[in-house]
Amino acid sequence: MMQIALGVVTAIGGFIDVGAIATTALAGALFRFQLVWAVVVATACVILLAEMCGRLAAVSHHTVADAIRERLGFPYFAVPLFTEVIVDTLVLAAEIGGIAVAAHLLTGYDYRWFVIPVMLLIWGLLWYGNFTLIENGVSFLGLVALAFVVGAFLVPTPWKEVARGALPSLPSRDGAHYWFIAISIVGSVLQPFLLNFYSSGAVEEGWTVKSLNQNRIVAGVGMSFGGIIGLGILVLGAMMLGSRGIHADSFEQTALTLIGPFGKWGLWLFAFALGIACLGAALDVALNLAYAVSQGFGWNWSENLKPHEDARFAAVYTAAVPVAALIVLAIGDPLQLTMLSMALNAVIAPLIVFPLLILMNDKAYLKDHRNSVVGNVLVSCVILLAFAVAVVAIPLEVFGA
């Protein structure tokens, strides 16, 4: 029977990660509840895309990467593959940095001391574990992130003002920064790796046409889980940081989002939530790098196989994890690395989202389960949003950061 854990682990890895925590907390700190709409839009988009990726996998038994390569040819697929490898490696570096920062918050030691142990932990889980262990373990531990939701109810939150923030509005000040954060929120969710990871997980679990109804539940509940936690972070950012004039320039400041409602235990909760979210994301990204490269070149792939049974698949994540760790040590400042990787994610998103529209209307792949007219209109809106985000992401990175 299909488990809801895939949706939760995908949400933790692709929604509630170092990027989402940083950007949503910053949104609340600087603009109070004005950017609630960005979280709502991002959640709706990712639910729609995840459902389609799961449907593609269940009906055709193809992942997104595999189907794009087969349908559009390797010359086209080589472009998103090349760019995704670069961006995913940067995202993986940001997640490793996030775990190291979580350890720093608990111990007081410089985060750099933890980068190599974190690298070994991630590689060890991938090498010795299987998909079920990663899926169930991370999804269970990731429930600690609900502390952000509980915390939002423990402080005197003006919920009517929060509700008004769900309607898009123009910024009252600092427009470039406002739109940069809005783009970063969307970019932290519309991550190309999330779509292929979700479809690869569906293939790993052997989904079939009989799984379609459950796929809708998994996508809807799992991604909504991430969206609700994102809203909790934004609310606490507004109440605990913005109200005190704190701009969330570091993860130490961001930790105040939980220290406020939970006192001394808040630091532990924040560090654990940050560490688990980043661990889930790091495993997702590293696996997706191996998935995408292996599927692109037609290699044997599965996290459920022993490394010697799909050696090239294992070699990809074995190479990617230490490279990402070296980036953290070389560049430093995990928060800045996070914001850059989120902006670059937004840039390459159209390369993955646009082909999905073609695939979801292909009878050879979807048979009688192709997109409806409404589905095509909705995904077309997401594509337009993705292109718009891609066009303005880098200028806003320069002028809005």
Name the band, by pLDDT with cuts 50, 70 and 90, for residue 222: confident
Q: What is the mean pLDDT of residues 281-309?
A: 91
Enter the pTM of the model. 0.88
- Burial of residue 300 (number of CB atoms within 10 Å: 0-12, 13-18, 19+): exposed
Q: Of 37, 328, 364, 313, which is closest to residue 169 (Cα–Cα)?
A: 37
Name the band, by pLDDT with cuts 50, 70 and 90, for residue 7: very low
Name the band, by pLDDT with cuts 50, 70 and 90, for residue 134: confident
Neighbouring CB atoms inside 10 A of 329's CB total 15
Q: What is the mean pLDDT of residues 21-47?
A: 90
Which one is predicted more confidently, 168 or 134? Answer: 168
What integer pLDDT is reported at residue 272 of this predicted model?
Answer: 92
What integer pLDDT is reported at residue 339 of this predicted model?
Answer: 67
Number of H helices, E strands in the chain: 19, 0
Rounded to the nearest 5 percent, the helix, strand and coil shares of the chain are: 85, 0, 15
Domains of the chain plus CATH, in order, are: 5-393 (1.20.1740.10)
Q: Does the pLDDT of residue 251 top 70, yes or no? A: yes
Percentage of the chain surpassing pLDDT 70? 88
Q: What is the mean pLDDT of residues 138-164?
A: 88
Give, in degrees to the nearest 5, the angle at Cα 90 between 89 and 93. Answer: 90
What integer pLDDT is reported at residue 32 of this predicted model?
Answer: 92
- Of these ranges, 33-37, 91-95, 272-276, 278-282, the one predicted with the greatest mean pLDDT is 33-37
Percentage of the chain surpassing pLDDT 90? 44
Q: What is the mean pLDDT of residues 203-213?
A: 89
Q: What is the mean pLDDT of residues 300-316?
A: 93
Is the CB of residue 196 less than 8 Å from the CB of residue 14? no
Chain length of the chain: 401
Which one is predicted more confidently, 110 or 192? Answer: 110
Q: Does the pLDDT of residue 153 top 90, yes or no? A: yes
Q: What is the mean pLDDT of residues 96-115?
A: 93
Q: Which helix (H) or strand (E) holds 274?
A: helix 265-297
Q: Where is average pLDDT lowest: 60-69, 73-82, 322-331?
A: 73-82
What integer pLDDT is reported at residue 1 of this predicted model?
Answer: 44
Q: Does the pLDDT of residue 81 top 50, yes or no? A: yes
What integer pLDDT is reported at residue 335 of this predicted model?
Answer: 67
What integer pLDDT is reported at residue 393 of this predicted model?
Answer: 59
Name the band, by pLDDT with cuts 50, 70 and 90, for residue 162: very high
Q: Does the pLDDT of residue 157 top 90, yes or no? A: yes
**Whole-number average pLDDT of the chain:** 85
What integer pLDDT is reported at residue 399 of this predicted model?
Answer: 54
Q: Does the pLDDT of residue 11 top 60, yes or no? A: no
Name the band, by pLDDT with cuts 50, 70 and 90, for residue 9: very low
Which one is predicted more confidently, 368 or 394? Answer: 368
Q: Where is average pLDDT lowest: 67-71, 111-115, 181-185, 269-273?
A: 181-185
Dihedral sign computed on CA atoms, order 115, 109, 145, 350? negative
What integer pLDDT is reported at residue 75 of this predicted model?
Answer: 86
Q: What is the mean pLDDT of residues 392-399?
A: 58
Lookup result for tokens 């940095």? 97
Q: Rounded distance, CA 164 to CA 160, Å?
A: 6
Distances (CA, A) of 27 to 131, 367, 370: 34, 43, 37
Q: Which helix (H) or strand (E) holds 355?
A: helix 334-359
